[in-house]
Every structure is written in structure tokens, then in C-alpha cells.
Structure 1
Amino acid sequence: MKSDRWTRRAMLMLVALAAVLSGCTTYVTTQVTAFSDWSGNDASRTYAFTRGAAQQNSLEQATYELLVANELATHAFRQVDPQQAHYLVGLSYGTKTDTVSVSQPAFYSSPWPGPYWGRPLDPWGPFGPFPPAYVTQAYPVFTHTLGIRITERTSGKEVYNVLARNAGDEQSLVRAMPYLARSALADFPLGNGAVRTVKMPVDKNAGVSNEAAGAPAPVLPASTPTAVQ
């Protein structure tokens, strides 16, 4: 019946919307784009972080550096004094807020008296079907980004530049950062111009704590990030 078809469509849209916007999402999906001129024979992966003027003396910056340092360590990088470092690592990050409008069908009962009166979700009346109205609702979407730029200290040559970006209903950049850092450096080094999507399981305890920046960084699930494409 036509009413069943409309009801089924409405339910599918509501389920899809809930899956996208609810806080019960089981995976974080991150898009990663990399530009690379990395030498595969590099045996001296020593580095130091470099900061822009606005990042000096920043606890937020220090916290994110800890997360990135943990991921770099998994690829044999060792943090040393800036004067001894082979590479300099710079970070850029931010959050952008957008609004997404979603139209959903809303079914109302027939205005005519009859045996179907009082069934607000039934589009059928005694004289046939009534088409649904559509209700548009706006939802905030937060896009978080992390850029990691690696240059040679002595020459200033850029050898690796990667950008990780994810979007959803999570407002906090600090909660998103562990996933951004791990996704950005998964399978390092990627090829030049590589674009891929990484899916990671959500860990409720993966958020960065309010403790001092010198405390150990949060550890994400041990499972390997999944490259979707």
C-alpha cells in the first residue's frame, strides 16, 4: 500500500539521521590528505616541535604535541633538543561550525471525520491518501582539522605535509584530536597526493584529560585504523 511505502521511507530517514547525528556513533571517520617528499632511506628520525607566535606558551599546543609525539614514536621518531633535531614538526588545527538542514516527511491525519480520525501518523482518510508535509530542521556540524608539517631543520625543505579532517556533532576539538592525530600518521609515510578515509572505533575514555600537559597522553584502542579508501 502507498501508506506503508511512505511510512517506511519516513522511518528510514529518521534512522539514518539518528545514526549520523547521535552521540552513540561507534566509529570516527577521518579524511586524510598527504603531500610527501619523504626519503625511504631515512635512518635519523630525530625531531623537535616548532611553534608559531600564537602557539608560544600554550597549554593547548603542548597537549596536542603530546598526542602527535606518541604517534610519531610508533614510526621510530625520537624527540630531541631543537639544535640536534634532523626535522622540525609544526602543527596547525582548528574547528569550523556549519549548519545542515534536513527535510523529513511529517504525516498528519485527515481533516475529515471518519473511521481513521485520531491517527496522527496515518496519511489515509476515508477519501484516499493525503500527501505528507515536510518539516526542515537545522543541525550544527563541527569540522575539526589537524595539519602536521615536517621540514628539514638545516635546509627548511618541506618533506611531509598531512591534513586530517573529520566532521560530526562533537563540539570539542580536544576530544577529536586523538583520532585526528592517529589518523594523520597512520601508515606513515603516505605517497605524494594520497587521499584516504580512515575509520576508527570510538573510545569513550580517549578524550584528553584536564591534567597538566606533561601527563601521559590518552591511549586510543589498540585496533589498527581501517583505511576505507
Structure 2
Amino acid sequence: MHKTTLMCAALAAASLCGCAGLNADVHSANPAAGLPGEPTYTIMRMPSQDASADHPQFEALLRDELAKRGFVAATGNATHYLLSIAYDTRPATVGVGGKDCAPSDCAKADAPFALFGGAAYQHSLTLRFFERTSGEERYKVRAVIADRDADPLHAMPVLVKSALAKFPFDASDWRVKLRQDKASGVPDVISVKPLPQ
């Protein structure tokens, strides 16, 4: 068997090889309550996000995608939900967990080698919706991808599309497959399927 085929087979789950396609793993929680009430929200920033030059671009991407799903940015008492955004980029790891662990909870081992001459990175985005009046968390979704680009700005369009591919997701773990539009460079969702339990 060709070496490239063997490497792709070994790395497909981490989406680190070109022949594995563009995939994101998504984990959701609290969907039983759904997102009832007015579809209005205010983004709550952490101090580090206020100081970040990149954060406004992340927020703009999220606002655009949320607007497509009927959610409207609001202020003050007109806000039904407070939206918390967390994201990070770190050297990629290889999962070694079993059937019962969610993608975000599986045990990890450091990637032992650089892929095709470059380091691998894991990017994640977590969105949490809290009811403004009660402070209760109503919905949480986390999307994770791996690639060889350390720039979180390049990963963010895929993460946002994946996290909102179904809105809200049912409580489970999902695999979102995407493709890059050659003309616009914008990722499009091809399929959303639950991961085997």
C-alpha cells in the first residue's frame, strides 16, 4: 500500500491529511431546553478579548452566521441571551480515548511528529448561551478542527460554520464535513452526522 494512503488512514480521525477532507468534531450540551424566548443576544467579552486585535473579526463572523438563523444582536433589557465565546489554538494532539468519551474529553497524547514538514495545530471554538435574567446556561457547543496553520483567523470560518451547522444541535457528538468554495474561499457544510457512540 502506498505510504500516503497509510498516513491518511492513520490520521483521518484528526483531519490532518488532505485526503481526509475538511472535518470538524462538534460536541453540544443542554439542548433539551433548547433556546426558547426571543432570539436576541449580547456578546460578553473577557478582558483579554477586549485587548485582542483579532476578536472583532471572530465576532463579526458569528454575528453573520447567527443572523442567518434568526438571531439578532441587542443591548440592555432587549437582550434575552448573553453569549460567551472562547477559542484557542495549540499544538495538535492525537486522541487515544474509547467509545464513551466525547471528542473534547478523550485522553490525548502529544503528536509525536511534524506532518509533511510542518507542525500540526488544534483549533477550538466554544459558544455558551446564558439566559440574561436567570444566568442559567441554556446551550453550549464546541467545535474542534486540526490543521497545519497556526493562525486562528484562518480556522475561525470553519469553526463558526461547524458550531452552527445545526442550531441547536441535539446533545451528542457530531462530525461536520465541509468544503472550501474555490471562488469565495468560504467553507460550505456538506454533511452533519452523529459520531458513533
- TM bucket, shorter chain: 0.7 to 0.9
Structure with max Cα Rg: 1
- Paired with 2:63 and 2:6, the residues of 1 have a C-alpha distance of 37
Structure 1 Cα separation of the partners of residues 159 and 139 of structure 2: 16
2:88 aligned residue (89, 94, 98): 94
Structure 1 unaligned residues grouped into runs of 5+: 1-8, 103-136, 208-218
1:110-139 deviation per Cα after TM superposition (whole angstroms, max 9, x unaligned): xxxxxxxxxxxxxxxxxxxxxxxxxxx875
Q: What corresponds to 2:191 in structure 1? A: 226
**Alignment partners' CA distance in 1, 2:173 and 2:48:** 29
Aligned residues: 171
Residue 70 (structure 1) aligns with: 64
Q: 1:180 corresponds to which residue?
A: 159
Seen in structure 2, the aligned counterparts of structure 1 residues 202 and 55 have a Cα distance that, compared at 3 Å, is: same
Q: How does 1:1-229 map to 2 (within 5 A)?
A: 9=1, 12-17=2-7, 27-37=21-31, 39-40=33-34, 42-98=36-92, 100-101=111-112, 140-192=119-171, 194-203=172-181, 219-221=186-188, 224-229=189-194
Q: Distance in 1 between matches of 2:182 and 2:6?
A: 22
Aligned residues of 2:24 and 2:159 also touching (Cα < 8 A): yes
Summarize the Cα distance change of 1:204–1:94 in structure 2 as closer, same or farther, 3 Å threshold: farther
Provide closer, same or farther for how the CA distance between residues 228 and 67 of structure 1 changes in structure 2, counting only shifts above 3 A.
Answer: same
**Equivalent pair of 2:8/2:20 in contact (CA under 8 Å):** no
Aligned partners of 2:44 and 2:32: how far apart in 1? Answer: 19
Name the aligned partner's letter for residue 192 of structure 2. Answer: A
Name the CA shift for 1:206/1:83 in 2 (closer, same or farther; >3 Å).
farther
Report the TM-score when normalising by structure 1: 0.64
Does structure 1 conserve the Cα–Cα contact (< 8 Å) formed by 2:37 and 2:80? no
CA contact (8 A) 1:150 1:161 kept: yes
Deviations 1:173-205 (A, max 9, x none): 11111010010011111123x101101002356
In the TM superposition, residue 101 of structure 1 has moved relative to its aligned partner by 4.0
Q: Secondary structure at the match of 1:58?
A: coil
> Structure 1 vs Structure 2: percent identity of aligned residues?
29
Once residues 38 and 76 of structure 1 are traced to their aligned partners in structure 2, the CA distance between those partners, rounded to angstroms, is: 20
CA distance in 1, matches of 2:29, 2:158: 20
Structure 2, unmatched stretches of 5+, are 93-109
Q: TM-score, normalised by structure 2?
A: 0.74
* Displacement after TM superposition at 1:67 (Å): 1.0
Cα RMSD for the two superposed structures: 2.9
Q: Quick one: which amino acid aligns to residue 86 of structure 1?
A: H
